[in-house]
Amino acid sequence: MQKDKKQKMNAEIEDVTDSIYDIAKKVKKRRELKVIPSPIKSIEFSEIKSNSKIHNQRKSKDILNWNGVDFASYVKDKYYIKYGKSLELNLTSSANEIQKLKDEILEIFGYINNVLVKMYLDFFIQRYMDQKITKTPFYFTQLKDKKYIKSFYIFCRDNIGYKIDKQIIVSKTKDINESNLENSFYLHKIVLVREYGIILTINWLIINKKYSRKDALEMILYTCLDSYKNGILKDIIDVTENLSPYPKQFVFKEIDKVNKYLTKKTGQEIAIKVLFSENNKFNFIRSK
């Protein structure tokens, strides 16, 4: 009887061990953002147009306003249309991968915006997606592989002209309002600072986004250094000065701190000049 009891206990331990192993495998798969196609017998074009999973996830039809979820939905739609199979994916996790993809594109191209991201996604789907799904399931993490981004870079350089001429794809001057700052914030921090300058961005982060002064300042200073490496710090300085004078009620006005830090880190004399006065500019930047 003692022997039977011991065998039963061992069997229970094995069951628990197997369960833990199964859970670990599931967690690992989730971390890898595995995307598994669900088979569909036949697809009619009318079904694609009416399918509730297509074209309903994106918040805006304007690509300049797309965020990570919009791009993830776009990939999902393109996959469905191309292969007649739906993708099971977590849009939030996939959106995080899109943000990492933007960082990789920025590193190779030296700039980033939504049109360029969409062009890359189309390029990847047309040129590399078939290779991927014949061997393994498609993973969103595959999108940010440097070899594919470099291939896209070479394609742009040789067929469209290097940087696809910035003037063609960099968004036009925008109205300065909460919505546009929010869109640039979710696109990339370099885009945010390049379009709205240092002083406006820091104050918007502190007042509207509830960043601490320390976190907001550090984020912008590090972004300025990245911009310096990409050769676009002058653009940020010009925007910062052109938007002056700023309202006196702004909580961050210490441009000297910015100048001192950037001068030390870049080895160049940085002297950004701005003024503060009684004015009603940027009224949307206020405590809520």
Please name the residue that has the structure tokens 């004078």.
245
Lookup: tokens for 97: 């991968």
pTM above 0.85, yes or no: no
Confidence (pLDDT) at 205:
94
One-letter identity of residue 208: N
Instruction: State how far the Cα of 178 lies from the Cα of 180, in Å rounded to an integer.
Output: 6
Task: Check: CB of residue 21 under 8 Å from CB of residue 74.
Answer: no
Torsion angle (degrees, nearest 10) of CA 181, 186, 189, 192: -20
Please name the residue that has the structure tokens 């594109």.
105
Confidence (pLDDT) at 159:
62
Helix (H) or strand (E) holding 86: strand 86-88
- The most distant pair of C-alpha atoms in the chain lies apart, rounded to whole Å, by 90
Task: Name the packing angle between helices 91-109 and 68-83 (round to 10°).
Answer: 100
Beta bridge partners of 246: 276
Neighbour-count burial of 97, counting CB atoms closer than 10 A to its CB (0-12 exposed, 13-18 middle, 19+ buried): buried
Task: Check: CB of residue 176 under 8 Å from CB of residue 240.
Answer: no
Q: Where are the beta strands (DSSP E) in 97-155?
A: 138-139
Confidence (pLDDT) at 49:
36
Q: How far is CA 197 from the centre of its chain?
A: 20
Tell me which DSSP letter residue 14 carries: H
Task: Check: CB of residue 39 under 8 Å from CB of residue 95.
Answer: no
| Local structure of 247: helix, strand or coil | strand
Confidence (pLDDT) at 41:
34
Task: Check: CB of residue 116 under 8 Å from CB of residue 168.
Answer: no
Confidence (pLDDT) at 35:
40
Q: Could you read off the pLDDT tens digit of each residue along the chain, which spans 288 residues?
A: 555 554 554 544 444 444 434 434 443 444 444 443 433 333 333 333 333 344 445 556 677 778 888 888 888 888 888 888 887 778 788 888 888 898 888 888 777 788 888 888 988 888 888 776 656 677 788 888 888 888 888 877 766 544 444 433 333 345 788 888 887 787 678 778 888 999 999 999 999 999 999 999 999 999 898 888 777 888 899 999 999 999 998 999 999 999 999 999 999 999 999 999 988 889 888 766
One-letter identity of residue 153: Y
Cis status of the peptide bond prior to 245, with omega within 30 of 0? yes
Neighbour-count burial of 248, counting CB atoms closer than 10 A to its CB (0-12 exposed, 13-18 middle, 19+ buried): exposed
Minimal CA–CA distance to 187: which of 113, 119, 96?
113
Between strands 34-38 and 138-139, the pairing is antiparallel
Cis status of the peptide bond prior to 137, with omega within 30 of 0? no
Beta bridge partners of 277: 247
Confidence (pLDDT) at 240:
93
Minimal CA–CA distance to 97: which of 69, 77, 74, 123?
69
Torsion angle (degrees, nearest 10) of CA 67, 72, 77, 80: 180
Between strands 246-247 and 276-277, the pairing is parallel
